Amino acid sequence: MIVRSAQLGSLSQIQHGFLTRDGGVSSGVYESLNCGRANGDDKEHVAENRRRAVAAVDENASLCTARQIHGINAITVEAAWPADQAPQADALVTNRTGVALGVSTADCAPILIADGSAGIVAAAHAGWRGALAGIIEATIAAMAKIGGAPDRMIAAVGPCIAKQSYEVGPEFPAPFLDQDPTNRRFFEQCLDKTHYHFDLAAYVQSRLDLSGIPTTEVLGLDTCADEARFFSYRRACLRGEAAFGLSLSVISID
């Protein structure tokens, strides 16, 4: 039901977890721990799944999530809001106990970050658009604004689509190469010479490294290839399925 980072797990006051698709009550394409509120699943099932997910990480915390839009807005959370009043954002930051920050993904990279010394945590949603635009830097800046320091932070990149599963078109590398020509290292040419495989996790890790975080753990779990454990937008598209589930990644402070 849950996978964890060994590095974040070394911080005794920080609770975290990347939830798999196991252990919930949904059925069909949403089987079983679907935590996506806007993807067509039964709302009561989703509410129960989200309750189970946060309880598996921190049973004393209230879950706080946002409406993710592949942007760069990072919000500092003072107290958890009702799920139906969630603002638009792709990263949440807090220094409050009793608040479990969550992001939903189904191939995008969930990033959990903690400054254990300052008692500050963050959860970020990084698809290629958000990562390229600067969601990682925005998250770290929001942490720094309330006392966090990048050189004290530990980051974990959770289950996401892996390079071998992520084929992209000939136009895709251009904005990455415009940003930095050395980003070419995140692309591997396919046999047809016109398409590429893109390494999202490695690109995300590079942005975390450039931001000054000394320790980043990449779990290296492929959401698209591992159907038994993870939901995947790419897999659903390849099969022509109109719906798919979303997994939750959660972090909190004791």
pLDDT for 63-115, tens place per residue?
A: 999 999 999 999 999 999 998 899 999 999 999 999 999 999 999 999 999 99
Distance CA 151, CA 48 (A): 38
Distance CA 160, CA 219 (A): 9
CB atoms within 10 A of CB 169: 9
- Across the chain, mean pLDDT equals 97
Where do the domains of the chain lie, and which CATH numbers do they carry? Answer: 2-161+214-253 (3.60.140.10)
- For 58-76, write each residue's pLDDT tens digit: 999 999 999 999 999 999 9
For the whole model, what pTM was predicted? 0.98
Task: Give the pLDDT score at 188.
Answer: 97
Cα–Cα nearest to 163, from 128, 207, 211, 134: 128
CB atoms within 10 A of CB 88: 11
Residue 192 has pLDDT above 90, yes or no: no
Distance CA 252, CA 88 (A): 20
